[in-house]
Amino acid sequence: MDFINCHIHTFTIDHVPNRFLPFHLVKLLRLKIVRKPLGWLLRTVLPFTDRDLLDRYINFIEITANKNQRHTLNRVRSYYPLNTRFIVLTMDMKYMRAGKVKEDLDSQLEELLKLYQEFPDTIIPFIAVDPRRENILELVKKYIEEHNFKGIKIYPRLGFYPNDKRLEPIYKYAQEQKIPILSHCARGGVFTKKITHNMLDHPWRGRVKKIKAKHFSHYFTEPMNYKSILKDFPDLKICLAHFGGYDEWDAFLENAWDPENPDLSKKSWMSEIIDLMKEHPNLYTDISYTAFHSSRYFPLMSVLLDDTEIKDRIMFGSDYYMIEREKESEREMALKVRYALGEEKFKMISGINIKNFIGE
């Protein structure tokens, strides 16, 4: 059985801004002699309140410090059958207002291109797009048309709305060329370190209040932002990654709606994504990170894959190496997902659906 993992990362610490972590920790953690003891100290002694975020950041620094993308790719390949293919999603963190990046996006893309040329049957590369980068459309065209990259990745939590006018030429080009776009759509993950005045103009909520950057960043990624995009670009294939995120799956499982006023009940992002998928036949989602967070989601996942309106647009992904902070290994969780869903459903989400998404 041929597998495709539709969501992994291979970027390294050199692609991360210097102030990505507080107290200049990125610079310190680049030093092997202090990395392990400092990581232990941060996890056990310092009074950080967001342990999930801290663990995730330290973990990927530990994995990629003084390493290259080849090392990370080989590590994730070691968890899967040798003929497994991976959609590799690049990240452009230059504009998240967290300091300088040691190696810019150009360097990250060039290194991935060399790996792609070496492993053309393993890597399915996507180019990162941030509307604040100059000449981004030209860069996209270069890697799509000259180097055969297969898709586009956007990460709105870095400080922009997917409705940004500067992205419209990207959407138009992707629709015309049948290039899929995968976008982060969860409350967790990396986020901009500063909220600017212009960010307060929400695309459909109007003017919103300024709050802490981590919480404000939810505005950038909420599923309903894509409603107008899907209307304006009906033939564009978009994947809302993470299916809303594991906290939104928890909300769906735990929070009841008002039976007398169901339309007024607060919906989870997972439910919003399902509604959008039923309205728009080119909208996809993936279960990356979310499915790997807890096996409690497996029954719900199986039921969703019985829904004939959406089952052919749900895709398997892991979000390696972000998922490495969980207790189970990548291999163990992938096997648990496969076992829980059964061969037929797993084949659908790890093969057929992904091939349809990337146009194979």
Please tell me the predicted confidence (pLDDT) of residue 218.
96
Tell me the pLDDT band of 59, cut-offs 50, 70 and 90. Answer: low
- Sign of CA pseudo-dihedral 226, 231, 232, 235: positive
Tell me the pLDDT band of 326, cut-offs 50, 70 and 90. Answer: low
- The position carrying tokens 């049957």 is 121
What is the mean predicted confidence (pLDDT) over 149-177? 98
Share of the chain above pLDDT 90, in %: 71
Secondary structure, 3-state, the chain: CCCEEEEECCCCHHHCECCCCHHHHHHHHCCHHHHHHHHHHHHHCCCCCCHHHHHHHHHHHHHHCCCCHHHHHHHHHCCCCCCCEEEEECCCCCCCCCCCECCCHHHHHHHHHHHHHHCCCCEEEEEEECCCCCCHHHHHHHHHHHCCCCEEEECHHHCCCCCCHHHHHHHHHHHHHCCCEEEEEECCCCCCCCCCHHHHEECCCEECCCCCHHHHCHHHHCHHHHHHHHHHCCCCCEEEEEEECHHHHHHHHHCCCCCCCHHHCCCCHHHHHHHHHHHCCCEEEECCCHHHHCHHHHHHHHHHCCCCCCHHHEECCCCECHHHHCCCCHHHHHHHHHHHHCHHHHHHHHHHHHHHHHCC
Distance, in Å, from the CA atom of 317 to the CA atom of 4, rounded to the nearest integer, reads 8
State yes or no: pLDDT of 229 exceeds 80.
Answer: yes
Backbone angles phi, psi at 234, to 5 degrees: -65, -20
Distance, in Å, from the CA atom of 275 to the CA atom of 294, rounded to the nearest integer, reads 24
Taking CA 241 as the corner, what is the angle to CA 220 and CA 204, rounded to the nearest 5 degrees? 30
Q: What is the mean pLDDT of the chain?
A: 89
State yes or no: pLDDT of 54 exceeds 80.
Answer: no
pTM of the complete model? 0.90
What is the mean predicted confidence (pLDDT) over 348-352? 97
State yes or no: pLDDT of 46 exceeds 70.
Answer: no
State yes or no: pLDDT of 174 exceeds 70.
Answer: yes
What is the mean predicted confidence (pLDDT) over 40-69? 61
Tell me the pLDDT band of 32, cut-offs 50, 70 and 90. Answer: low
What is the mean predicted confidence (pLDDT) over 127-145? 98
Please tell me the predicted confidence (pLDDT) of residue 24.
62
Please tell me the predicted confidence (pLDDT) of residue 116.
98
What is the mean predicted confidence (pLDDT) over 255-269? 76
State yes or no: pLDDT of 264 exceeds 60.
Answer: no
Please tell me the predicted confidence (pLDDT) of residue 256.
79
- Cβ-contact 277, 307 below 8 angstroms: no
In the chain, domain spans:
4-11+68-358
Backbone angles phi, psi at 133, to 5 degrees: -80, 130
- Cβ-contact 76, 330 below 8 angstroms: yes
User: CA distances (Å), 179 to each of 16, 59, 109, 125, 144, in order?
Assistant: 27, 32, 18, 12, 9
Please tell me the predicted confidence (pLDDT) of residue 38.
62
Q: Which residues of 73-110 are buried (b: 16+ CB within 10 A; e: fewer)?
A: bebbbebbeeebbbbbbbbbbbbbbbbebbeebeebbe
For 295, the token pair is 């096996």
Please tell me the predicted confidence (pLDDT) of residue 131.
98
pLDDT digits (tens, 9 = 90+) for 285-313: 999 999 888 889 999 999 999 999 999 99
- The position carrying tokens 């990581």 is 39
**CATH, domain range 4-11+68-358:** 3.20.20.140
pLDDT digits (tens, 9 = 90+) for 73-118: 998 999 999 999 999 999 999 999 988 888 899 999 999 999 999 9
